[in-house]
Amino acid sequence: MLTHWFLAAVHLLAFALAFWAVLVRGTAFRRLADGVGEVRSVLIADNIWGVSAVVLLISGGMRAFAGYEKGADYYLHQPLFHLKMTLFVLILLLEVAPMVTLIKWRIALARKAPINTGRAKLFTRISHTEALLVLLMVVAATGMARGVTFG
C-alpha cells in the first residue's frame, strides 16, 4: 500500500514539475527572442522538462501496467485514459522541433559555434501549448481517480 501511495505521489509531483519546467522554458525562449535572455536558461529548463517527462512516463507506466493501481484492463477501457494518452502523444509531437533544435544548440555550444535563435518565438508558443496540455492531462487523471465514465 505504501508503494502505491509513493508512486502516486511521485507521478503527481512529476506533473507539477513538468508544468513548471515547460512554462519556464517557454519564458526563457521568449526572453531569448526578445534579446534579453540566455541560451543557458532555456537549456536548464529543458533538462528539467525532460527529466520530469521521463519520470511521468515511468511512474505512469508502472501505475497502469505493473500492478500498482487498478490494472491494465481498467485503464485500457477508460476513455479518460485514452484522452490522457492522446494529450501525451500531442505533447511528444509538438516537442520534436524544440528537441531537435536544442540538441543542435548543445552541440554548437560544445563546439563554440554560433546558435541560431530565430525560432525562439515559435518555441515559446509550443512550450506554453505543451503546458496547457499537461494541465489537461491532470484534469483527465483526476477524472479517472474519481471514476468518471462516459456513456
pLDDT computed for residue 75 by the predictor: 87
- For the stretch 3-45, pLDDT in tens is 889 999 999 999 999 999 999 999 999 999 999 999 999 999 9
pLDDT computed for residue 71 by the predictor: 81
Q: Which of 26-40, 44-58, 67-81 has the lowest mean pLDDT?
A: 67-81
- Domain ranges for the chain, please list them: 2-145
Instruction: Give the per-residue SS3 of 61-113.
Output: HHHHHCCCCCCHHHHHCCHHHHHHHHHHHHHHHHHHHHHHHHHHHHHHHHCCC
Q: Which residue has the cell 496540455?
A: 133
* pLDDT of 151 higher than 70: no
Q: What is the mean pLDDT of the chain?
A: 94
Selected residue with higher pLDDT from 102 and 148: 102
> What span, in angstroms and rounded, lies between the C-alpha atoms of 102 and 98?
6
CA 71 to chain centre: 24
- For the stretch 95-122, pLDDT in tens is 999 999 999 999 999 999 999 999 999 9
